[in-house]
Every structure is written in C-alpha cells, then in structure tokens.
Amino acid sequence: MSRDETSLPSLTNSLPTEGRGAQAALPGDVGEITVRWQAQEIIDVLLAESDPESDWTRSKLRELVAAHPDHPERALLQHLTATTAITNSEDEGAEVVPIRAAEPVPVPFTRRSRNRIEAVLGDKMLMTAFQPIRSLPAGNVIGVEALTRFVSDDGASADHWFTEAESVGLGTDLEIAALLRALTAAQTVPAHLFIALNLTPATCMDPRIQGLLEHSQLALDRIVIELNGAVPRDQYQSLTAALAPLRRRGLQIAVDGAGAGFTSMDQVLELHPDIIKLDRGFIADIDRSEGQRTRVAAMAELASHIGAAFAVQGVETLAELAAVTELGIVAAQGYLLGRPSVHPLDWNAWTESERESAASGPAS
C-alpha cells in the first residue's frame, strides 16, 4: 500500500498504548542500563538531603526503593507519578508541553525560589521524557520531542519551574541543564529519529549552546531546535548569527506558529525556519470548526511560501487527525499518537511495531 493510501483505521491500530513496553525484560539493553544508572543517581541525591521539610518525601522514596531493589528506575517513576499527581489531575487530557507560556504568570523573586532552582542545578533533579512525532498520512515515527520532568516535592509543572527560574535570573542555566539531560537521554533513542529540543531565543544566543550541541553525541542533522517565545526585533540579527554555524551543518529550526499571522509574521520571515509548528489551540475541534480549518489552511500557505515543513501538536482524536491530514500537514504529535515517556523501552517500542510490519511484508 502506498503512502497516500494509508487509512486512518490502520494507523490507529498501530499506535502504541500508554506505557507499552514498560515492563518488558531486556537484560543487558543499553537503554535500560542508562536509565537505571540515571535513576539511581537522582535517588542517591534525594536520599542524601537533610532538609527537615523533605523527611516525609524521603521516607516514601525509601519505601519505593525497598519495594524495587533491583529496579531503581521503577521506584523513581512511581515517585514522579506520586509527586505530580495534583498537576496531572488538573490537566487531565490536555497536551503536556515543556515550554513556558508566551506571557508567563509572574513569580515573586524570593530567596526560597532561588534556593530551589540552585538545588535542581546542583543535584540535576530532572529527567527527560520523549514524545513521538509521526509522519502523515503514513503514521511512521520520524522523531521525538524532549520534555523536561522535574523530581520535586510539590508536583509543580515544568512550566512553573522554568518561569520561576527566569524570575530569579537562572532561566538560561536551567534550560541548559535540561538540554544536557536531554542530549544524554537522546543517545538511546533509535538512530533514525530526529530529536526536537525546546529553547528560548535568549538561551540560543548563549555562547555555551553552540559548543554543547557540537560536542554532543548527536549528529547536528538529527537535531531540531524549537524556539519558544518571541524574538525582539532588535535581536533578529544576533539570533540568526548565533544559529547560522549550526544550521549550515544540518541543524533545523522550528517556530511556534501561534502568533505568526500577526505580531510574529516578521519574525517568521526573518528567521526563515525549517518547520512551522502549531499547538493545541489551532487543533482543538478542527474537525467541527470552519474557523479553525481556515486558520490552519492560512498557516499552511505561509509554510509553503517560505519552504518550511508544517507540523502540529496536540492531536487527541481520530477526527482531528483526519482533518489535519486532509489539510496537508506532514507531521503530528499528541496523546492519540503517543504519550510522553521517560523509559527507553517505550522509545524503542514506538518503532518496533513498524520494523515488524516491514519484515512481515504487505498483507495479502
């Protein structure tokens, strides 16, 4: 069956279920060893703390470690699930994104805030989850987006952590710490997939970024930088110059198309991104709203005009998937197409079914 003939039902049947592969046993698997080592490193740091306010959390973590003595990654995953339960219940069914809002809610500048962020930076109490990005209409996994997960007592979202870090002057430092963790985790992602990394324009212009990306174990042509936030007009030239050496060697740039039709049009034309990506706000109810379809069609025209690929995130229903496919969108992600996971076994499971299908050949 050709690419254009792939049906939506067959795509849906091939989608991964939540948590697929998490309990699979692969002795000696490099990805499993990597995540186990990273999990144990974070657990050791947490249990070594002496802050009285964290006594209860540490005691619960010790119980989980005792329950899974040979699998620290399972203990840490259960710890993460418990500490983020409040946030997840508030956002149930919503697309989880690891980026700051365009206009973040101000966070008071306090010594406690700075201490919290410095603790994360010092102890590296964060992990990387990846969410699959699929080609349309075929449905093959072509890349993953890195999403930051914080090991914390209060269940605060990633958005809150980054906003708080920015409020105390440590925003770029926290982004770089998350980037380093993502680059390490990405070494166990299947080699044919690209890695999308979220950075603000200000962080992209930090002189440390070029060196970190050039000396990582990932080829630059596998990396996509998703720019989060507007670029001040007087910084267009600086940002373009900072990214130019990396782009010449294959790195690609994606921009959020949410404001591209209005205040960010000049930004899109100036940066000439490789990818324009729309968020959930454009996709929700697109199958029932003519206005939504018109907005997305207009963005598709802009992408075509500048020669950029057109992608979306936040696809949650089959009807939305059918609508964005009909509009010519070439890549999509969302809960329907695969939920974020911190486990390498899941990352490999996203592509394992495709390899098995290819090996078995077309149905008779």
Single out the residue of 140, 80, 150 nearest to residue 333, CA to CA: 140
Distance CA 354, CA 364 (A): 17
Rounded CA-CA distance 227/256 in Å is 7
Can you give the pLDDT of all 364 residues of the chain as single tens digits?
333 333 333 343 434 333 333 333 333 444 455 556 667 767 776 777 666 666 777 788 788 888 888 877 777 767 765 554 433 333 344 343 343 444 444 445 577 778 878 877 776 678 899 999 999 999 999 999 999 988 765 566 788 888 888 888 888 999 999 999 999 999 989 889 999 999 999 999 999 999 999 999 899 999 999 998 888 888 888 999 999 999 999 999 999 876 544 446 777 888 899 999 998 988 998 999 998 899 888 888 888 889 999 999 999 999 999 999 999 899 999 999 999 988 888 888 887 766 655 555 554 3
Distance CA 259, CA 10 (A): 34
Q: Which residue shows structure tokens 């703390």?
A: 49
The residue length of the chain stands at: 364
Question: How far is the C-alpha of 256 from the C-alpha of 236, rounded, in Å?
Answer: 16
* Residue 331 and residue 309 in contact, taking contact as beta carbons nearer than 8 Å: yes
Q: Tell me the two tokens of residue 275.
A: 């990818």
Q: What is the spatial distance between Cα 27 and Cα 189, in angstroms, rounded to a whole number? A: 18
CA–CA dist 149, 342 (Å, integer): 9
What angle (nearest 5°) sits at the alpha carbon of residue 115, between those of residues 113 and 119? Answer: 120
Enter the pTM of the model.
0.70
DSSP characters over 134-184 = EETTT--EEEEEEEEEE--SS---HHHHHHHHHHTT-HHHHHHHHHHHHHH
β partners of residue 149: 127
